[in-house]
């Protein structure tokens, strides 16, 4: 049973906040959902296009602030999702309860269409994940 779910990408400004917000919207309050970056420090907001494309889906990402994975107690999460294999390799050393690895391309520097494609890829991967854990 998954009660706490963490999404991790590299900078915690695009992919993982989008994934966490999409997951939270589907799961409601039954599951704690967080996101973090593998190397980012605190305080950066989500990228503008990330906020825009999630807003198009009715999800508010405007209040997001980045969190470094080092600042979290990773053992508290039943499942950690790495947004790409490189992040997954870096997370493997933490001895997590369960690590899932996706392959979502970093949209940083792309157009709003790039970010929409990222959101679509996240939605597809999330549907597969949720059907497996719910």
The conformation of residue 122, written as its DSSP 8-state character, comes to H
Within 37-56, which residues bind other proteins (CB under 8 A)?
37-49, 51
Per-residue b/e over 79-109, b at no fewer than 16 CB within 10 Å?
bbbbbbeebbeebeeeebeebbbbebebbbe
Nearer to other proteins (CB atom), residue 65 or residue 76: 65
Calpha distance 107→115 (Å, rounded): 6
Distance (Å, rounded) from C-alpha 79 to C-alpha 70?
Answer: 16
Nearer to other proteins, 68 or 123 (CB): 68
Q: Is 113 in the site for other proteins (CB under 8 A)?
A: no
Residue 104 in the binding site for other proteins (CB under 8 A)? no
Q: Does 122 help bind other proteins (rule: CB under 8 A)?
A: no
Say how many residues touch other proteins, by CB under 8 A: 27
Chain residues binding other proteins by CB under 8 A are: 9-15, 37-49, 51, 66, 68, 106, 108-110
């Amino acid at each position: 049973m998954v009660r706490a779910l963490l999404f991790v990408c590299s900078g915690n400004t695009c992919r993982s906040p989008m994934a966490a917000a999409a997951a939270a919207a589907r799961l409601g309050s039954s599951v704690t959902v967080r996101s973090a970056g593998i190397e980012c420090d605190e305080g950066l907001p989500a990228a503008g296009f990330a906020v825009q494309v999630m807003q198009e889906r009715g999800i508010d990402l405007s209040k997001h602030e980045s969190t470094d994975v080092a600042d979290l107690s990773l053992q508290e999460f039943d499942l950690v999702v790495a947004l790409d294999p490189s992040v997954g390799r870096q997370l493997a050393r933490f001895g997590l309860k369960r690590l899932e690895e996706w392959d979502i391309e970093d949209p940083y520097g792309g157009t709003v269409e790039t970010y929409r494609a990222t959101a679509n890829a996240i939605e597809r991967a999330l549907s597969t994940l949720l059907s497996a854990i719910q």
